[in-house]
């Protein structure tokens, strides 16, 4: 088993893939505004990038554009939806129900992406038993592994207890959405499990970096 799950080649396509959700959102907005055809230039404006980047990105997924016509918005939207698995459904549980966990549970982001929240877990006695969403009462964290196995859970949303990640190796789960702020040790996690980190602090660092760069340009 290789520790590096992604090589340089994957890295390139990962950059394209990371832009797909934004393509998806832009195209959805076009469709909502009854725009049926779009040029790479228009798409570039909406995506805040260049037309050549657009053509390059989309061609790596089979190139759905047509010279002189541009892209058919609905076809492109449908194709990207399929690539992203937008119409698939997944079951999920949340670990950690303080602050962020409690807020995330109520977000529409799950239902919008076909993710059904089935349960929430915490180890703090004051949280256990609370109804954090209609008919979803916080369970004891010790029940997590059995629950994931018996209820065939796809995704674990971790907002706390990062040390629990390794205990999920044999529960049949397929993905971890990691909000814990801790870097999970991928070498200790089953390769069948995909991990998506969300480090809010990283995006704040990025913003501060951009601000600094602009200040330097001006001075």
Per-residue interface string for the shown chain with its own copies, residues 111-130, x marking contact by CB under 8 A: -xxxx---------------
- In the complex with its own copies, the residue whose CB is nearer, 141 or 157, is 157
Q: Which of 16, 31, 128, 186 binds its own copies (CB under 8 A)?
A: 186
- Check binding of 3 to its own copies (CB under 8 A): yes
Q: Which range of residues in 67-75, 122-130, 131-139, 168-176 is near its own copies by CB under 8 A?
A: 168-176
State the Cα angle at 17 between 200 and 84, rounded to 5°. Answer: 95
- Check binding of 142 to its own copies (CB under 8 A): no
Q: Which range of residues in 16-24, 58-66, 71-79, 132-140 is near its own copies by CB under 8 A?
A: 16-24
Cα(152)–Cα(173) distance, integer angstroms: 7
Q: Which range of residues in 12-20, 68-76, 142-150, 163-171 is near its own copies by CB under 8 A?
A: 12-20
- Check binding of 155 to its own copies (CB under 8 A): yes
CB of 142 to its own copies, least distance (A): 25
Q: Which of 61, 147, 161, 199 binds its own copies (CB under 8 A)?
A: 199
**Is-contact 115 88, C-beta < 8 A?**
no
Positions 71 through 100 that interact with its own copies (CB under 8 A): 83-86, 88, 90, 99-100
Q: Which of 106, 143, 152, 170 binds its own copies (CB under 8 A)?
A: 106
- Check binding of 109 to its own copies (CB under 8 A): yes
CB of 143 to its own copies, least distance (A): 23
> Which of 61, 53, 95 is closest to 78 using CA atoms?
61
Beta bridge partners of 70: 66
Contacts of 107 (CB under 8 A, 6+ apart): none
Q: Which range of residues in 64-72, 131-139, 160-168, 193-201 is near its own copies by CB under 8 A?
A: 193-201
């Amino acid at each position: 088993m290789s520790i590096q799950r992604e090589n340089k080649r994957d890295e390139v396509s990962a950059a394209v893939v990371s832009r797909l959700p934004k393509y998806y959102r832009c195209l959805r907005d076009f469709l909502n505004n009854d725009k049926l055809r779009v040029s790479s230039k228009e798409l570039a404006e909406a995506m805040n990038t260049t037309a050549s980047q657009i053509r390059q990105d989309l061609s790596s997924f089979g190139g759905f554009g047509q010279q002189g016509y541009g892209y058919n918005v609905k076809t492109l939207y449908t194709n990207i939806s399929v690539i992203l698995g937008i119409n698939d459904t997944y079951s999920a549980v949340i670990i950690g129900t303080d602050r962020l966990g409690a807020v995330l549970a109520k977000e529409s982001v799950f239902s919008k992406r076909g993710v059904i929240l089935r349960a929430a877990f915490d180890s703090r006695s004051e949280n256990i038993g609370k109804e954090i969403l209609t008919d979803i009462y916080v369970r004891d964290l010790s029940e997590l592994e059995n629950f994931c196995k018996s209820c065939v859970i796809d995704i674990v949303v971790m907002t706390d207890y990062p040390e629990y990640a390794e205990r999920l190796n044999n529960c049949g789960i397929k993905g971890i959405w990691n909000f814990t702020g801790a870097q999970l040790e991928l070498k200790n996690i089953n390769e069948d499990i995909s991990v998506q980190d969300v480090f809010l602090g990283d995006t704040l660092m990025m913003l501060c970096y951009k601000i600094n760069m602009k200040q330097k340009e001006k001075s």
